[in-house]
Structure 1
Amino acid sequence: MANLTWLYAKAALTGFTRRGSELPTAEKSFRVDVDRAHLAAYGRVCGFGVGDGLPLTYPHVLAFPAQVELMTGRGFPFPLPGLVHVANRITRTRPLHAGEPLDVHVSLANLRPHERGQQFDVRSTASVDGEEVWVDVSTYLRRGDGSGEPAGKDRAEPPTPTGRWRVPGDTGRRYAQVSGDRNPIHLHALTARAFGFPRAIAHGMWSKARCVAAFEGRLPDACTVDVRFKAPIPLPGAVDFSATPTGAGWRFALWSDRPHLEGVLHA
């Protein structure tokens, strides 16, 4: 497993040297056995119950070190600091269980223009006994000269809330402990200010996981959950959660004075 502390240091030291217009063809594959203590800790941070079933979002944290390794590796064209996680889509074909060894594969794909720069996907998959059962696609934005194409507008009015969640100030540190994502913008106000944020902000994948946890017991065995990350959630803070049934599943969102996350869940 990659050493994330070293990779973040590498990212800081080599970011200014990164140039290019193509993604490398590098990929990472490994097998992982689920640590039940780690699984339980993840569940506590994100709001899931304790059990042998893997939350839909849990394999993302298993794949994350390999994702960072690819984004700090030879030939990757962008500095890791400054990349913005703008979307994540996860599909599973069946529930996963802690006793199943997972074969995880991570690759980079689909570098393309964006109105504010360039975006690309980090694709992670998990297979059991040769069968691909889980696919995660994280989309990142590299700000810069963009395509100039118009952006879609945020919803003018917030949806009717179905719940209000308080997000404690240590949420970023607690999620960093279970995910390995110790980006300074999530840890303390002091380190976040060095990157232009007045306060620390919650991880996007924590906010997605917290939303998925709100549907625990109602997720179809085979399903897709697709989200767009809008504005960061400052820590500490509070957000309104809304969930509206649709013909195929649910539409959900996190809001405060602005949209933070918008997503859909469907079978």
Structure 2
Amino acid sequence: MSGTRILQDEPGRLATLVRVALPVVPGVNRLPGVRKVRPGDFDGLTYRREHAVVERERVQAYAGVCGFPRRDVVPLTYPHMLAFPLHVAIMGDPGFPYPAIGMVHVANTITAHRPVAVGEELAVATTVGAPRPHARGVLLDFVTTVGADGETAWESTSTYLRRGRTIDGEVAPGLVVPDPPTGGVEWRLPPDLGRTYAAVSGDANPIHLYALTAKALGFPRQIAHGMWTLARSVAAIENRLPDAVTVEAAFKKPVLLPGTVAFAAREDDTGWTFALTDPVDGSPHLVGRTS
């Protein structure tokens, strides 16, 4: 099943939570309009949003939470905020075979072709195709383009893992960052970071909000959003990056809140390599590189 849908308005947080939760409720998940297609019947889905305006107030709130300065162009990672409602709409669509709850964001690639100005009106489109094999299930690539007047200003690929039965095919190795940097500056993260980021991003997944809601989904306590860890890492080096740049990142180990992480970055002839690690044992939470 494939097709293109138009998202007219960004849904409210409650409506979003209800939409993504219903497909995992026994009985309800068999109702028309909720029941998912079978994975074998899925070959792609696209959601579009026209006339998405980059609002200064929202950009400034996001910049404050993620450590970016206030400017007249948006932070490198900000257009993901325009894409995220499309991701949720796809995951909640009956034409998408997997429930949103249980999808794990494992990697992200962002390419900026030019700065995006505050106040711009943009067209945003996200497409997800057929799943790819993974050792622990399947991978789904949510490919987003953001632009205006037929020009792509920014694009990204967000890769999600759905644990469970895999499919036939060769498993791709994913992002490999040889010898990522360790140590560096330590950041102490407060217990309400997930709620603070949820307020500016719209991503109110219960695993990020409270210890109780995170424990219900298998975590010892709430965890930081992966896209916050990427945004905060990019914010630490963004003033040394060109306007046109690609950033690749892999999310490794969840960051428990409250907690302390260490950020380190290293420049070489091809760009920057960076990592967010556990300051106690050096294990990586996130590894990334630019080009």
TM-score category (smaller protein): over 0.9
Contact 2:180 2:273 in 1 (8 A): no
Aligned letter for 1:247?
D
Gap regions ≥5 residues in structure 2: 1-8, 30-34
Secondary structure (helix, strand or coil) at the match of 1:118 reads: strand
2:166 to 139, 142, 146: 146
Measured in 2, the distance between the counterparts of 1:137 and 1:156 equals: 21
Matches within 5 A, 1:113-262: 113-146=133-166, 159-256=181-278, 257=281, 258-262=283-287
Residue matched to 1:82 = 102
Contact 1:27/1:108, CA 8 A, preserved across alignment: no
Task: Tell me which moved more, 89-98 or 28-37.
Answer: 28-37
Could you tell me which residue of structure 2 aligns to residue 60 of structure 1?
Answer: 80
* Equivalent runs, 1:31-42 vs 2, <5 Å: 31-42=51-62
1:131/1:156 Cα in 2 relative to 1: closer, same or farther (>3 Å)? closer
Q: CA deviation at 1:149?
A: 5.5
Could you tell which deviates more after superposition, 222-231 or 158-167? 158-167
Alignment coverage as a number of residue pairs: 266
For residues 193-246 of structure 1, give each alpha carbon's deviation from its aligned partner in whole angstroms, at most 9, with x where no partner exists. 100111100000000000110013111111000000001100010111111112
Higher mean displacement: 5-14 or 247-256: 5-14
155-164 or 79-88: bigger deviation: 155-164
Uncovered stretches (5+) of structure 1, i.e. residues with no partner = none
- Quote the offset at 1:140 in angstroms: 0.4
Contact 2:68 2:235 in 1 (8 A): yes
Q: 1-side partners of 2:173 and 2:217: how far apart?
A: 25
For residues 12-51 of structure 1, the aligned pairs below 5 Å read 12-15=21-24, 16=29, 17-18=35-36, 19-21=38-40, 22-51=42-71
Q: Identity percentage over the alignment?
A: 48
Cα-Cα RMSD: 2.2
Higher deviation after alignment, 254-263 or 196-205? 254-263
Q: Helix, strand or coil for the counterpart of 1:169?
A: coil
The answer for the alignment partner of 1:265 in structure 2 is 290
Q: CA offset at residue 129 of structure 1?
A: 2.6
Question: Would you say 1:94 and 2:114 are equivalent positions?
Answer: yes
What TM-score, normalized by structure 1, do the two folds share?
0.93
Distance 1:150 1:24, change over 3 A: closer
Q: Which whole-Å deviations, capped at 9, do the CAs of 1:85-127 have from their partners, x for residues lacking one?
A: 0000000111111032111111112421111110111111111
1:11 is the counterpart of 2:20: yes
Query: How far off its partner does 1:154 sit?
Result: 8.7
Q: TM-score, normalised by structure 2?
A: 0.85
Secondary structure in structure 2 of the residue aligned to 1:69:
helix
Counterpart for residue 2 of structure 1? 10
